[in-house]
Amino acid sequence: NYWTLDRLGRLYKDWDPQVLTDLSAQVAKSKWRPGYHITTKTGLLNDPNGFSYFNGQWHLFNQAFPYGAVHGLKSWQHNVSDDLIHWRVVDKPMVPDIYSDRNGCYSGSAINVDDKLFIMYTGNTFEGSEFTRHPYQDGAWMDADNNIEKLAEPLIADSPSGVTGHFRDPQIIKHDDYYYAFIGAQTVDNTGEILTYRSRQVDSGWELYKKLDLGTDNLGYMAECPNVGFVDGKVVVIFCPQGADKAAFHYDNVHPNAYIIADELDFSAMKLVNPSPMQQLDEGFDYYATQLLNAPDGRLLSVGWIGLPDTEYLSDQDGWEGELSMVRELHISNGSLVQSPVNELETIIDDTPATANDLQRLITAAPLASQFSLYLDSTDSYLHLAYDESDRQWTLVRKNVGEEAVTRSFQGDPSSLSIYLDNSVFEIFINGGKVTMTGQFFHDGKSIQVSTTSMDIKQKKIQNM
């Protein structure tokens, strides 16, 4: 096996640069590269990190391992944008290079403080021959030239008592006189929870505050990537409850991304007021680790990883894996979350009809019928979406080249549909975004035939960027 512990954990400065050159050549031959979704040039992408608006630009980092399509030593790739659509990679990644992040710069968030951006992230370390996890919550300042300077000392040097080494993914927000960090945790009794810490200064003085009371304890054995956002007079909490009990919360993916809406967050009790039941954030095949940003322009924005932990993808054999979703704007309507692509996306939709292999948007041209289907077919692979009014069931079946077909379904109305296709990536927005289905479709790479029964669609081209 090529992926020995030595290679998985090797510091970036110790890799032979030729490895990246060779890998780039391999990636260039892949038939599945997206045109506008953020991905890594080579290797693996996972969680979005540090989503922020700073110094007149949008900043969006992501977990990356450039040396292969595996979960090796993680760094932060840095992407910037003027419009949330056209992203450019800044060639100053945050890589593991201090004691307290030596086995990975894991996920975290960023917040504007004066004229700098403050980053709080999990430094992953393994100790001893048993590779016991010892997480640190580390800090760093980024200046207007995108130079990142890590703090010499961790902000939080250990898991609190009663919590295992699974303690990570801080999201910082400011409320009244305090900065609060929401951190995913696993108790020694093997249950997931979200803990909060707080401090009056962002770069020191962090103390354990309270456990976040979500109104449910069905957080499985570990709650990853907690995020809190505020919109439409409500609060939404998004997190990944690994191993959540399926009897109480249905999901089909190996690990779910979930949300809870509440009337407010009572910071003094650290408790959600009138929380909704836990719901699935996305009904598709690959969506995880979603991060929120309450943007200075008032919008609540989200971005997720189009991929899942503990999963192999066909693109791995081409030397790369994973994308970030398009940035979405979130609202709350009748107690549910509504997700839609940000308006800025309209600037890259052409009026010209798309041809089969363009990046494209498929959108319903007329009200949906009580029964319909949409087929995207290539040789030995397909993506089929259908609705049947008899049981109000939406069904999405995906057959990747060389794999068995898999299905995701949910019950709902048929009111509208728009689909964004970016080569192997799809994001489906159903009923104005009340439901989304996101994932990857590994087709034969030649041509995809689009056909429908009982429905009219318009196919529009998305400018390739």
Query: Which tokens hold the place of 235?
Result: 């609060």
| Cβ at position 357, least distance to ligand FRU in Å | 31
Write the CA distances from 349 to 339, 365, 421, 452, 460, integer angstroms.
Answer: 19, 16, 12, 22, 7
CA distance 16 to 428: 41
Q: How far is the CB of 105 from ligand FRU (least distance, A)?
A: 9
63: enclosing H helix or E strand: strand 57-65
Chain residues in the site for ligand FRU (CB under 6 A):
46-47, 63, 74, 106-107, 122, 168-169, 224-225, 289, 309
What does the alpha-carbon distance between residue 67 and residue 218 come to, in Å, rounded to a whole number? 36
Q: Which two tokens stand for residue 415?
A: 């009111």
Nearer to ligand FRU, 156 or 349 (CB): 156
Residue the block writes with tokens 């299905």: 407
Residue from 47, 282, 358, 422 carrying the catalytic annotation: 47
Q: Provide the residue type at 248 as one letter.
A: A
Handedness of CA 351, 354, 360, 361 (dihedral sign): positive
DSSP 8-state code for residue 2: -
Identity (one letter) of the amino acid at 319?
G
Active site residue 391: no
Q: How far is the CB of 61 from ligand FRU (least distance, A)?
A: 12
The residue among 108 and 433 lying less far from ligand FRU, judged by its C-beta, is: 108
Contact of 378 with 257, CB cutoff 8 Å = no
Nearer to ligand FRU, 46 or 77 (CB): 46
Q: In angstroms, give the least distance from the CB of 360 to ligand FRU.
A: 29
Sign of the CA dihedral 345, 347, 351, 355? negative
Our CB check for ligand FRU shows the closer of 47 and 318 to be 47
Which is closer to ligand FRU, CB of 169 or CB of 427?
Answer: 169
Return the active site residues: 47
